[in-house]
Homo-oligomer: A and B are copies of this chain.
Amino acid sequence: MTAAIDFYFDFSSPYGYLAAQAIDDVGARHGIDVAWRPFLLGAVFKITGAQPLPHTPLKDKYAAIDMPRAARLLGVPFTVPEAFPFLSVAACRAYYWLAEDDPARSRDFAKTVFHGAFGEGRDMSVAESVIEEAAKLGVDRETLAAALEEPAVKDRLRREVEAAIERGVFGSPFFFLDDEPFWGHDRLDQVDRWLETGGW
């Protein structure tokens, strides 16, 4: 039986946002916690040579159709922020800093950042926005603002990104069921089935 679900995503990834709407339900159906693991897709793209969707001819036009269509199917709000893709370094650092004391709150934080970006189209790249979202969850603004500049917090994110790449993560969303990798929000049905059957 699968012991762990790891959910890798970039906060700037629309398909990561879509997966974020569903993955906890999948885990709950099978009684397994989901570890949310934001990372930086830009670091991966340096290795794979991939480009963000808006910079890829043909694919950009398709994504503009496919992303909102997939969101409508899920029944979730969807918009693309004006600044897209955006740097999610501040959001990632805040996430791992929050996770150290309170994993449940860090997950709530991740959901609110995603909702801000793709539910409401706000600019979540800047530290001010990230701090604002965290404050809604009761986090002290000044403490978080200071934490975002701490070398230990920066190092933590660096290690997480390196570990993701080491594990073979190259896109967002990306899932591991123990050591079994699944890429894409459109693999969620396979993730669900794998958890149901123990694999095939």
Contacts and interface: CB of A to CB of B under 8 A. Distances in A.
B168 A58 contact: yes
B58 A44 contact: yes
Contacts of A44: 58
Nearest to A179: B65
Interface in A107-155: none
Interface string A61-80: 11001100110110000000
A189 B70 CA distance: 12
Count this chain's copies in the assembly.
2
Nearest to A169: B58
Interface stretch (A22-30, A32-40, A46-54, A95-103): A46-54
Given A48-B56, A57-B48, A190 B62 contact: no
**Which of A62, A73, A189 has the most C-beta atoms of chain B within 10 angstroms of its own C-beta?**
A62
Contact of A62 (B62, B168, B193, B200): B168
B58 A200 contact: no
Nearest to A199: B69
A11 B38 CA distance: 37
